[in-house]
Amino acid sequence: AQKITQTQPGMFVQEKEAVTLDCTYDTSDQSYGLFWYKQPSSGEMIFLIYQGSYDEQNATEGRYSLNFQKARKSANLVISASQLGDSAMYFCAMSLMNTGFQKLVFGTGTRLLVSP
């Protein structure tokens, strides 16, 4: 069965520093997609970044980058130059591409706290 594992329940980082949030996944499919979402205390899920399993380059979106290591089945999120507004829950999710319809499987999340 497809599964996403986020082993860090909480992470602390100082403002302006970089932080890596871990995500490992388990699937026997060759074709899949990986997403990261941010959930502030308001509750809304905000899309951050996407990586396809066949993408050769790591995805980047502004201060967010995805460190994709296919052989290790990991898709870690790197946030550079942390800001106070980055304090939130972060969720890794996987979508399957062989079903013809997107189904997302989510991890349990990592709570990031950015201190001044």
Partner 1 sequence: DGGITQSPKYLFRKEGQNVTLSCEQNLNHDAMYWYRQDPGQGLRLIYYSQIVNDFQKGDIAEGYSVSREKKESFPLTVTSAQKNPTAFYLCASSARGGPTDTQYFGPGTRLTVL
Shortest Cβ distance from residue 14 to partner 1 (Å)? 26
Q: Is 101 in the site for partner 1 (CB under 8 A)?
A: yes
Phi, then psi, of 84 in degrees rounded to 5:
-55, -35
Q: Is 45 in the site for partner 1 (CB under 8 A)?
A: yes
Q: Is 57 in the site for partner 1 (CB under 8 A)?
A: no
Quick one: which of 35, 14, 59, 26 has its CA closest to 109?
A: 35
As a whole number of angstroms, the distance between CA 13 and CA 83 comes to 9
Q: Is 52 in the site for partner 1 (CB under 8 A)?
A: yes
When binding is defined by CB under 8 A, the residue of 28, 41, 44, 71 that contacts partner 1 is 44
Quick one: which of 54, 50, 106, 49 has its CA closest to 79?
A: 49
Nearer to partner 1, 81 or 113 (CB): 113
When binding is defined by CB under 8 A, the residue of 58, 73, 87, 97 that contacts partner 1 is 97
Q: Is 25 in the site for partner 1 (CB under 8 A)?
A: no
Give the number of residues in contact with partner 1, rule: CB under 8 A.
30
Q: Is 64 in the site for partner 1 (CB under 8 A)?
A: no
Which ranges in the chain belong to alpha helices (H)?
A: none
Q: Is 36 in the site for partner 1 (CB under 8 A)?
A: no
Cα dist. 20→47, 67, 104 in Å?
A: 17, 9, 22
